Every structure is written in C-alpha cells, then in structure tokens.
Chains A and B, each alone.
Chain A
Amino acid sequence: MDWIIRSGRIVDGSGLPAFEGDVALKDGKVVRLGGRIEAEGAQVFDATGCIVAPGFIDPHTHFDVQLLWDGQARPALEHGVTTIVPGNCSLSLAPLKAGDRQRVVGMFQQIEEMPDAAFDGAFEWRWESFDGYLAALKESLSINVAPLVGHSVIRLWVMGAAATERAATAEELAAMQDLLAQCLEAGAVGLSTSFVDVDENLMPVPSRYAHLEELDALAAVLGRYGRMLQVVPEFYATDITLARVDQLAELSLRYGIPTTFSPLFDSAATPDNVPRVMARVAEQMARGAQVWPQVQTRPIDISFTFEVASLLFAGLPKWYRTMRMGTEEKIAALSDPEWVAQLLAEAEPGGNGVRWAGVQVRGGVSDASLVGQTLGALAEVQGTSPAQVMIDLSLQHNLEASFIAASLGHNDSDRVGALLADGNVHVGASDAGAHIQSFATYGDTGYLLGHFVRDRGALSLEAAIKKITADTARIWGLPGRGQLAPGFAGDVAIFDAAEIDRCAEEACFDMPEEGMRYVRASKGMVGVFVNGALSWSKASGYADAPVGQIATQLPGAASA
C-alpha cells in the first residue's frame, strides 16, 4: 500500500449509506476499503471524524488557459475537485491553427471575461492539434482533465473566415466530422456548442452559423464514440430552451449520446421557467433521451468596476458601449453631462433607481466607510440616483471603485434546493476558471455540502456526493472515476462535514503579471488525493504532484 486513509466515514459515491473504515490506495488506485486495514510501509492520513468521499468532478469549467501555467487549477483542487471538464460553450484551445489563435483569444476574452494577462506571454503556443494541446497540458498536470472540443474552433479550422459567414458544404462537413473523430480519439470527452455567445466584436461565434444538419452530422460522430454534446441554450427564454431540450433529445435518441445544457437558473422574475423546463426534461428522459440540465449551486453575484466591460451591462447597450471604451474615452464620456443623462435614462426607467439601488460598494474607494453601503442609501443621502453615485465614485477613483450586485438570481434556497435534489438535475455549471474579475467560480461543491446538505437538509450527504461524483462520471463516461471502490482511481476528498463550506469571496493577485481575480478558499476540506497522491492538505497546502490524467481514459492508463 502507498496510503491508508484511516478511520474516516466513507461515502463511496454510490448513494448508499455511509460506513466507517479505512481506504487503501496503491499505484494510483483504490485497492481496499472498509474495516481496519494494516500495511507495512504505507503512509497514513488520519481521517478521524471526517467524511471520505470520491474526488468531485466539475463538468463545466473554462480552465483551458489556466491549466497551461497552473496544472493544479487552483483553487479548485483544494475544494476537493479532482476532475474538471474544460472546453465548454463551443470554445477550446485546440484544434487551432496558429493564424486563428487571436480570434479564439478574443472569444475567450469576451465570453469568459479572461484578461489579456491570461494569454500574453503566460505560456508558449506549441500546438495546433488536439493531441498537441493535451501533450502540453500533461507536462504539469496535477488534476484530471476530461476536455471538450469546441464546435467554434472546429468550424474555424475547416472553414476559416467562412465559419462566420455561411453553412458548411458537404466537403467541409465531412472534414469537420473527421476532425472531431481525431479529437475524440485523442481523448476529448465530447463536443461543446453555443447558441448564444458573441465574439469580441459582439458578432455571433462560429458555432451559431451551423445549421441543424451540421450539428446532426457531428452528433453522428459522437454516437460512434458514445460521447457528450454540451450546449449553451438561450437560457433567458423559456420557449427557446424548451425547443433546445427537444432538439437535444432527438439527437440523443438518434445517436445514443448523452447531452447536457447549461446553465439553468432559477429566477424570481421568471418563476415558471424552471418548472416548465424540468417538466419537458422529465418527458424526454422518460422517452429514453439523455438531456441533462446543469444547475449551479451558488446564487448569482457579480462584482465589477468601470475599468473593464462586465457582462452585467450587456443588456444595457449605452452602458455596455461605454464600458468597452478605452480609459480616456470612457472618462470623457462619463464626464459629459449629455452622455451621462442617456446612461441614467437607460439604467433607471422611471428614474427610481430600482435596478442599481441594491448594488453595494465593494472597495477601491478612499473612504472606507462607504464599503458595504448600497448605492440606494448613498443616493438618498446625496439627493441623486444610484447610477449617478456609481458614476461619481468611479470617476473620483480613476475607475477603480468596485461594486457588487449580490443575489441577482438563483438565490431562493427552497426552490434551488429542491431543484438540486431532482433526479434529472446534473449539478454543475460552475464556470470555474472564467469570469474571473466578476465573481469567484470556486467552492460550489462546498456550498452544496454546507448550505444545502448540512444547513437546510435539501438532500442527504450520500445523495449530494453521488451527484458530484458517480453520477457525473456516468453521465460523462469517465471510466474508473467517481466512486471509492477497488480498481477505481485514487481520487479522494476528505472533509469535516460540520465545517465544509466555501470561504468569502476575495480579490487575489495570482494571475500572470499579478493580474487580479476573485477566488474563494475552501473551508472544512482537510485532504485531497489525485490518482493516489496527496495533492493538497489543510496542513501542508498544495503538493508538487503532477499526477493528473486525461479522464476519458482508464485510470493509470496514461501517466502525466
């Protein structure tokens, strides 16, 4: 034995009741569990009083870029996440011709709010093919990766500039099928596509120019490999989402593939959205289709400054246009009474400040007493509007004043808890690694286990663990992962059930060139094993353990 995880309470991922005992790891895998295990020479990790569970699997991330300079995908690993799925929403970093790199970087920056520093000089582009990208990842990979390949980049590879102009020809369609097959052979877990996203010029991404016939042809390839189709639907419009559910169901039934769409949000503004979508999903699941809605656990919070164009403003054309200006032009616009009057009119229909009144000052201001105050309260004192307060504070602080719009939606714990417990819901949609200057996308699993399991009893610990381990592995076809059982990967999360949670969101300057992002540290997690190696512990932090694998292959089949 290499490791014995001693005296924990084992929740094995199957959904069956927890039981006491040890877990033994050897050569990267679980070899025994339950009862007392003795083995000479094995290292011992004391799990007394802790839950011992399979490592968590996050099915919706955008760690594609970060993995190239941070093979641990910090801080996902310290939250117990041992396997991640990058490449969502039609975007991946391969296959990608050198000449198309900047186009894809622009899409990542627009859609996932990735800063320049994430790309500029942070890594060396040495690949064009999908297997070349995986080879680059494997050089320092400490977490398991099941990468999707993006439909937009497949289109770009085959069609070039025409990818955003027209339908594919029969020859181009065949070339896309061949290319997708190559990616799947190399280790891709499936194909991602988007029906909603725009590029940095606010024009539709390539995948949106594909007719259903093209998606059908690519789904046929997925069917040969039994692989996943992930889509971003028009989640803000119920009727369209219902249509997407039906389209996915037909592809699933025709080719025997799993499909998933993300996100699905609960919202007080459209309370019938989730019930209607889930009713349709249930009907399609009853027909044998696999259409898995991904639901995130956390409420929607968005932080922002006037320095960068937050997606929070995407629904306000005048504001968004202003936010996308260069700094000097932006300051000039925000100092122009006529321009500001138009902004205020757009932001505050009726002039009552409803939209912005609840937004809080987060930081970046000289007067610390302002932090935590709402724009509405400040506006009342100053006899002006909340949006005007926001503009004034930004101008006074060189656009560095920061604000937070908290609990914008998906924040009714009764409704979200019931949704997460639904047997047809796939817990995911964290977006980890993206939107890094708008909100922290880490700790959703801690929030699930702390807020919804321990504090509210929305679902049992065993059921919750199953949803983020064995269920995810089964839905995505990840062999040998998601359970603690002999022969399965030695991916283990060890935590204190009384403490498990996520810490407060905080600004962190650990991006390339000391770039800022929001993160949340873990709480209650005490140890994380990846493929049998102790990769993070509360006592010692991150270990240098480049043991991550491509999770579409059997554990141990390909060492990093």
Chain B
Amino acid sequence: MAELSGCRAFTAPKPGEDWAALAARVLPGTPEGEAVEKLQSWNLHLFARHPRGQFLGSDVVFTAPPAA
C-alpha cells in the first residue's frame, strides 16, 4: 500500500470527552490548562459556529497547529 505524505494531525472526539479529556488523550504529559489552551487555539473553527467553542461528536479536532 502506498505511503501517505504528512498531513496536519487531527483526531475525532470520543463519546463523553470534553476538552480536558481530549487534551489528556492527545497531549499526555502537558499540564491540563496548557493542553486545552493549545487545542482550542488550533481549532478556532469551532468558535465560529453554534454551539460556540464546543465540539460535536463528528467534529475534526486538530492536534497540531496549521502549517506556517
């Protein structure tokens, strides 16, 4: 199977996860507040719609910043 090139990292929320739980899963070892802040800054698209700032089950949540 052909290899994929690199792409901006993302995850899908798990049932029952909130920002803190998601941050603990994808950024282990990073203090909770800092991890959540990072994630939210990488996912501003979630703040431009209803419900503002929350993620839904089907959302893409980026776990890395956009390419420069």
Task: Please measure, in the bound complex, the distance between the C-alpha atom of A247 and the C-alpha atom of B12, giving whole angstroms.
Answer: 9
Segment from A237-245, A440-448, A543-551 that makes contact with B: A237-245
Q: Determine whether the beta carbon of B2 is less than 8 Å from that of A234.
A: no
Task: Please measure, in the bound complex, the distance between the C-alpha atom of A288 and the C-alpha atom of B1, giving whole angstroms.
Answer: 8
Max chain B C-beta neighbours (<10 A), residue from A209, A234, A239, A283? A239
Which residues 1-28 of B have a CB within 8 angstroms of A? 1-2, 4-5, 7-8, 10, 12-16
Q: A234-B45, A287-B2, A288-B1 are in contact. Are A243 and B60 (CB under 8 A)?
A: yes
Q: Determine whether the beta carbon of B50 is less than 8 Å from that of A211.
A: no
Q: Determine whether the beta carbon of B56 is less than 8 Å from that of A209.
A: yes
For B57, the chain A residues whose CB sits under 8 A away are: 167, 208-212, 214
For A209, the chain B residues whose CB sits under 8 A away are: 56-58
A195 at the interface (CB under 8 A from B): yes
Q: A240-B60, A242-B8, A283-B2 are in contact. Are A211 and B13 (CB under 8 A)?
A: yes
Q: How far is the CB of B13 from chain A (nearest CB, A)?
A: 6
Q: A167-B15, A212-B12, A247-B12 are in contact. Are A242 and B56 (CB under 8 A)?
A: no
Instruction: State the interface size on chain B (CB cutoff 8 A).
Output: 22
Task: Please measure, in the bound complex, the distance between the C-alpha atom of A234 and the C-alpha atom of B61, giving whole angstroms.
Answer: 13
For A286, the chain B residues whose CB sits under 8 A away are: 2
A198 at the interface (CB under 8 A from B): yes
Range, interface on chain A: 20 to 34
Task: Please measure, in the bound complex, the distance between the C-alpha atom of A193 and the C-alpha atom of B12, giving whole angstroms.
Answer: 16
B45 to A, closest residue via Cβ:
A237
Q: How far is the CB of B52 from chain A (nearest CB, A)?
A: 12
Q: A211-B13, A239-B62, A286-B2 are in contact. Are A203 and B50 (CB under 8 A)?
A: yes
A246 at the interface (CB under 8 A from B): yes
Q: A167-B16, A211-B15 are in contact. Are A287 and B1 (CB under 8 A)?
A: yes
Max chain A C-beta neighbours (<10 A), residue from B12, B13, B57? B57
For A193, the chain B residues whose CB sits under 8 A away are: 58
Q: Determine whether the beta carbon of B58 is less than 8 Å from that of A207.
A: yes
Max chain B C-beta neighbours (<10 A), residue from A204, A213, A243, A286? A243
A residues with CB within 8 A of B: 167, 193, 195, 198, 202-204, 207-215, 234, 237, 239-240, 242-244, 246-247, 280, 283-284, 286-288
24 A-B residue pairings within 8 Å (CB atoms): A167-B15, A167-B16, A167-B57, A193-B58, A208-B59, A209-B56, A209-B57, A211-B14, A212-B58, A213-B14, A215-B58, A234-B45, A234-B60, A239-B8, A239-B66, A242-B8, A243-B60, A244-B60, A247-B12, A283-B2, A283-B4, A286-B2, A287-B4, A288-B1
B residues with CB within 8 A of A: 1-2, 4-5, 7-8, 10, 12-16, 45, 50-51, 56-60, 62, 66
- Apart from the given pairs A195-B60, A287-B4, 8 other A-B contacts in the complex at a CB distance below 8 Å: A208-B58, A208-B59, A211-B12, A211-B15, A234-B45, A243-B60, A244-B60, A287-B2
